[in-house]
Amino acid sequence: QKEVEQNSGPLSVPEGAIASLNCTYSDRGSQSFFWYRQYSGKSPELIMSIYSNGDKEDGRFTAQLNKASQYVSLLIRDSQPSDSATYLCAPTRGDSSYKLIFGSGTRLLVRP
């Protein structure tokens, strides 16, 4: 079992739709959770962080966390073609407050 599981995609949505990206993790000690966006050939860019159960909204992005189910998700509302990228889920390791474990990412394609 991978430490962080993400559907590799591509997830294809039309412009203006809601994109839903999901992630499960195996380390029950993970405390902090991050979503990174990575454009092809570029480095990852932090777009969302979430630390407690529930929802956290920032502009068009909403992160959702359920620690009991070891599940974290990212919703992107009003998806734009510029959102087309790979989204990496990254929880902290249970034995560290700062080291992250990365999933291999979900590729999102927003169709104009």
Interacting residues of 9 by C-beta distance below 8 A, sequence separation 6+? 106, 107, 108, 109
Contact 23, 73 (CB under 8 A): yes
Please report how close the Cβ of residue 16 comes to other proteins at its closest, in angstroms.
28
- What CA–CA distance (Å, rounded) separates 52 from 40? 31
43 near other proteins, rule: CB under 8 A: yes
Please report how close the Cβ of residue 49 comes to other proteins at its closest, in angstroms.
5
Interacting residues of 103 by C-beta distance below 8 A, sequence separation 6+? 2, 4, 5, 6, 23, 88, 89, 90
Please report how close the Cβ of residue 61 comes to other proteins at its closest, in angstroms.
14
- What CA–CA distance (Å, rounded) separates 39 from 34? 16
Contact 41, 104 (CB under 8 A): no
Binders in 63-92 for other proteins, by CB under 8 A: 88, 90, 92
Candidate ranges 19-27, 43-51, 58-66, 68-76; the one touching other proteins (CB under 8 A): 43-51
Candidate ranges 13-21, 61-69, 74-82, 100-108; the one touching other proteins (CB under 8 A): 100-108
Candidate ranges 21-29, 62-70, 74-82, 101-109; the one touching other proteins (CB under 8 A): 101-109
Binding site for other proteins (CB under 8 A): 4, 8, 31-32, 34, 41-46, 49, 88, 90, 92, 97-100, 102-105
